[in-house]
Amino acid sequence: MTLHRTVLAIAVAMAWSTSSVQGADIVLTPSAGGGVSVTSADGSVTRLRVAEDGSVTIPGTIFKGSNRFIHNFGTGNTFIGEQAGNFIMTGANNTATGLTALASNTYGAANTAIGSAALGNNTEGSNNTATGALALGFSTTGNNNTATGAGALVYNMGGDNTAVGSSALFANLGGTSNVAVGSRALKENTLGGGNTAVGTQASGNNKGGDSNTAVGAGALGFNATGSGNIALGMGAGANITGSSNIAIGNIGNTVESGTIRIGDSSDHSRAFIAGIRGKTTGSANAIPVMIDANGQLGTVSSSARFKDDIADMDSATDALMQLRPVTFHYKEDQDPAGRTLQYGLIAEEVAQVYPGLVAHSADGQVETVMVQFLPPMLLNEFQKQQRTIASQSERLASQAARLEALEGELAEFRRMLGRPR
């Protein structure tokens, strides 16, 4: 044993109940209730104390090398990690765990940062929660943000944002009141506000669009500036670039706005909507709803302001009487209680007479008769018949008048001849 270890062991033994040197260690056993303390040079301030039960009291900062490692500078602050926090801030009630977490904070208060560089550049922002490496890492003044995930809200300057997922709201600068849940959700958003994106890369390319809602991986994936869109389902509304669209299970269209699309014709072949059948509309001015070959629902406009090339039908309906009204049963109608007898036309037969009166399926097959055109055509034929009847009535009336005149003349002639009638 070297001289300095011997001297230290003797000196320590004078203050402790027992002491010993075991290998490279000096073992101290304090008296009951005792401990070991390190004080200032004059003994007035305790710098370090190890109690008998192992409790350690350190009023100062623990350094790792030359870097601050554990400290509670300020009021109500707790910092754990190399260079976490600093010694110049006035902000209170902050908690930071991780390398350089909250390292630049000055006035910011009530922040929680967990992860390497989490809230690392925050200076004045308050009430933020960052969990994950670089979460809110370059945010300086934003308030009331929650970021969970590596790189979540990393460039944020806005407030009231919530990002859960790696790189969620990654590029957000001034956007506020956004909610992004999922890896890279709203990743490219910079100024857009009031957006909600749930799912991997949901609304991932939005930059300045506001008030969009995207639920599903890749939903509203290519929208950059459109606002007020709603997309539900994986890839729903992925092609949308306009505004005020609703896409449910449909990728949408790049050039449209104010459009509702539900389902995809390649995946869905039937639709059931409750609350329609047997329900009378609240207004007496209800009109029929039609569907075109693209699946768009709408009504038929009759106003002249929507039409050109207006002309009388005249002889265009002459062949109408060639159509064959029939009764039939639908093949799918196999109700054991009895099949429903139907009344109508055969589309193939109508196509032979009036090709423009039939609609075709996507593969070009004759599918149905556009019956909405039949009433005006029937009216034209009815009016033609009425004109014929009116003309015939006029001729009959004229003939009756002539007959009556002839009978008068005949009676006068007989009178002149002295013959009784």
155: tokens are 């460039």
Full strand arrangement of the beta sheet holding 35-39: 35-39, 46-51, 56-57
Q: Which residues contact 13 (CB under 8 A, 6 or more apart)?
A: 19
Q: Output the pLDDT for position 4.
A: 46
> How many other C-beta atoms can be found within 10 angstroms of the C-beta atom of residue 167?
25
Domain boundaries, the chain: 3-57, 313-421
Q: Which residues contact 300 (CB under 8 A, 6 or more apart)?
A: 287, 288, 290, 372
| Amino acid letter for position 235 | G
Burial of 85-103, coded b for 16+ CB within 10 Å and e otherwise, reads bbeebebebbbbbbbbbbb
Q: Output the pLDDT for position 13.
A: 44
Q: Output the pLDDT for position 10.
A: 43
Q: Output the pLDDT for position 22.
A: 57
pLDDT tens series, the chain, 421 aa: 444 444 444 444 444 455 555 566 667 677 677 777 788 788 777 777 788 777 887 877 888 899 889 999 999 999 999 999 999 999 999 999 999 999 999 999 999 999 999 999 999 999 999 999 999 999 999 999 999 999 999 999 999 999 999 999 999 999 999 999 999 999 999 999 999 999 999 999 999 999 999 999 999 999 999 999 999 999 999 999 999 999 999 999 998 999 999 999 888 889 999 998 888 888 888 888 988 888 899 998 899 999 999 999 999 999 999 999 999 999 999 999 999 999 999 999 999 999 999 999 888 999 999 999 999 999 999 999 999 999 999 999 999 999 999 998 888 888 888 765 5
Q: Output the pLDDT for position 36.
A: 76
